[in-house]
Amino acid sequence: MDDSVLYDALARYWGYREFRPLQRAAIEANLNGRDSVVVLPTGGGKSLCFQMPALVRPAGGLGLVVSPLVSLMKDQVDGLVASGVAAAALNSSLTPDERRAVYADLDAGRCRLLYVTPERLVGEGGDAFRARLHTWGVRFMAVDEAHCISQWGHEFRPEFRRLGRLRDDFPELAIHAFTATATRQVRDDIVTQLALRDPAVLVGSFDRPNLVYRVRARTGLKDQIRRVLDQHPGEAGIIYCISRREVESVASWLDELGHRALPYHAGLPDEMRRRNQEAFLEERADVMVATVAFGMGIDRSNIRYVIHAGAPRSLEHYQQESGRAGRDGLEAECVLLYSGADFAKWRQMLEQSGELSENARRLLRDMERYAAGTRCRHRVLVEYFGQTYERAACDACDWCLKELQRVDDPLTVAQKILSTVVRIGQSWGVGHVIDVLRGRVTDQITTRRHQELSTFGLLADVPITELRGYLDQLTEQQLLLRTDGPYPVLQLTDDGVAALKGLATIELYRQPRPAPGGRARRVPGDPAAWDGVDRGLFEALRQCRTEVAQARGVPPYVVFHDNTLRDLARRRPTTTAELLDVYGIGARKAEDLGPIILEVIRDYHGEQDLAEPDEADG
């Protein structure tokens, strides 16, 4: 297809001037009728890859998008309609009148994109619905959040497996699978389950350079959370907790502190969950405290931080959940607060639910290694998903920012720990090893006479969390092995034996102890992201966006993303033509919202002009 057609659509409907990596290749696969698997990171623009072909295809027709969440459909349809695209959704949230209107548009050929759930396609009544799709002239099918189809994925949903029957009903159509997170094993399973034919497999970089990753041993949870929130006053964030009880406790505590915080977990009534989610998406709440029940399909683009108050069960989960920060490409922070007890809790929960498979154990071990690791966080995540990290340092994680402190004489510290593991018979877990090293007198220690060991109390002055961190690092460096099972124990590896004999080079690091009231180092991209932006004008535009969104019944980010507001406050356009040069403003939005935006800018400059003489007089 002629480049000018694609770039014209990109500017007209989305307000962008350039395609992001792999978007063009994904669009071409669609237009050429070739199946595809597209893996783009959160914020990488995967929705445009299946939206644009429906607009530019010369023969017209309908693009079908299969999406698992009603809220995600609504946000995308609202955004498309606001940009002048004829899109609709069919789901359980529609009233009978709304449903009839959508069917009328489809029958008349007025719709270019239709969003449906998997259940509508392959559930009860699916046969009749698929028959109608033939009459509507469906030209392609896109399966969003396609990792849900794989049993190896982190959000496996059995109903997705039935989508494979679409190939039988629509043998001539290309099927396109989209996801933000998928290992090679998951990608292969997607191809098999959807019966894709020689698909184009397009995998973008898993790196999110605008995110700063920090890992901290959990010491005082509330104090640690408070310090992160202090760095992001009035900004949006998500706090993930492992248990529902912790969600309620943290949300209540934050609310008492004056933060606009809400809880979200599967134990809440459906109506309350819906209200809380809408309040967060509509920016009537700043902090969502949630279990993993909250997340997929959350399109709020200006989330500036994600805190994990406990370690998730896999790196796939962590990549997906932390990736909800900074979807607009601007700076954001991801903080993991963990304890070794988190992994024992997950093993117990998975065992009780019958999900503690060897694969689940492996995923937990990978997560443990990340938490205890002492190298670039960006590099670890990228390499986990099978890619090469090219940069020597990311300058966007606690390791590369030199926030971890090197331990003096690490070999001696390691030998004290390794010697203790040997002297207690390599048959005890982390907690008991720490008790011996700190000189604690417990029933288990006195019963086995471990207080008589030469290593008893050797590290009595080292805090428990710091000691646990050393044990995690020795395990991550494969000097110690932590066995699986209900009661994991520590054992030395061959490399651990060599270290005990002084035949190894070891480095150990401790996390810095924050000074009271001290500020953490801010995100490296911050100055550049705000360069030239009039912050007062940005806030005026943000207020205007909120009012427009409330009047139209859509979330604020459907009106404009934060990066669009920043560009407006940087360029300060005065005409409709100048608006078209702003990032994220296409022809439809310039026509629709341009007069309102230009008035805000004029009023703001008028107020500034009036204020300047007073300032000079003062």
Write out pLDDT tens, residues 73-101. 888 898 899 888 999 999 888 899 999 99
Higher per-residue pLDDT: 34 or 514: 34
Q: Is 147 helix (H, G, I), strand (E, B) or coil?
A: helix
Same domain, 494 and 613: no
- Domain range holding 609? 532-617
How does residue 119 score in pLDDT terms, banded at 50, 70 and 90?
confident
User: What CATH number should be reported for the domain holding residue 504?
Assistant: 1.10.10.10
Q: Give the pLDDT of residue 536.
A: 93
Output the pLDDT for position 452. Answer: 94
- Same domain? 348 vs 246: yes
**Domains held by the chain: number:** 4
**Domain C-terminal end among 372, 404, 436:** 404
Pairwise pLDDT comparison (157 vs 314), residue with the higher score: 314
Tell me, yes or no, whether 612 and 475 share the same domain. Answer: no
Mean pLDDT of the chain: 88
| Alpha-carbon torsion (222, 228, 234, 236), positive or negative | negative
Confirm whether 517 is domain-assigned.
Answer: no
Residue 516 lies in a domain: no
Give the per-residue pLDDT at 149: 82
| Residue 317 included in any domain | yes
Whether residues 319 and 428 share a domain: the answer is no
Closest alpha carbon to 195 in 164, 151, 150: 164
Question: 455 near 439, Cβ under 8 Å?
Answer: no
Looking at the structure, tell me whether residues 491 and 581 fall in a common domain. no
Classify the phi-psi angles of 129: left when phi > 0, otherwise alpha if psi is within -120 to 50, otherwise beta.
alpha
Separation CA 521–CA 199 (nearest Å): 44
Query: What's the Cα-to-Cα distance from 397 to each of 310, 390, 564, rounded to whole Å?
Result: 18, 16, 27
CA distance 441 to 444: 8
Q: What is the DSSP letter of 586?
A: -
Which of 348, 371, 404 delimits the end of a domain? Answer: 404
Highest mean pLDDT among 311-320, 386-395, 451-460: 451-460
CATH number of the domain within which 51 lies:
3.40.50.300
C-alpha closest to that of 331 among 550, 521, 192, 176: 521
**Most confident region among 34-48, 237-251, 602-616 by mean pLDDT:** 237-251
Give the pLDDT score at 31: 94
Residue 303 has pLDDT above 60, yes or no: yes
Query: What confidence score (pLDDT) does residue 523 get?
Result: 45
Q: Is residue 225 part of a domain?
A: yes
Rounded to the nearest 5°, which phi and psi values hold at 303?
Answer: -75, 120
Bridge partner list, 306: 238, 334
> Is the pLDDT reported for residue 293 higher than 70?
no
Residues 261 and 189 in one domain: no
Is there a single domain that holds both residue 11 and residue 64? Answer: yes
Q: Tell me, yes or no, whether 199 and 218 share the same domain.
A: no
User: And the tokens for 476?
Assistant: 């991550």
3-state secondary structure of 579: helix
What pLDDT is recorded for position 527? 45
**pLDDT above 80: residue 418:** yes
Residue 201: per-residue pLDDT: 95
On the CB side of 38, how many CA atoms lie within 13 Å of its CA? 29
Instruction: Kindly state the DSSP code that residue 125 receives in the 8-state scheme.
Output: T
Q: 430 and 322 in one domain?
A: no
Same domain membership, residue 181 and residue 32: yes
Question: What are 351-360's pLDDT values in tens digits?
Answer: 888 888 888 8
Q: What mean pLDDT do residues 108-115 have?
A: 94
- Decide if 180 contacts 320 (C-beta within 8 A): yes
What 3 state SS string does 405-471 have? EECCCHHHHHHHHHHHHHHCCCCCCHHHHHHHHHCCCCHHHHHCCHHHCCCCCCCCCCCHHHHHHHH
Q: Are 385 and 242 members of one domain?
A: yes
Residues 221 and 349 placed together within one structural domain of the fold? yes
- State the pLDDT confidence band at 348, using cuts at 50, 70 and 90: confident
Identify the domain boundary among 475, 510, 545: 510
Dihedral angle sign, alpha carbons of residues 567, 570, 571, 574? positive
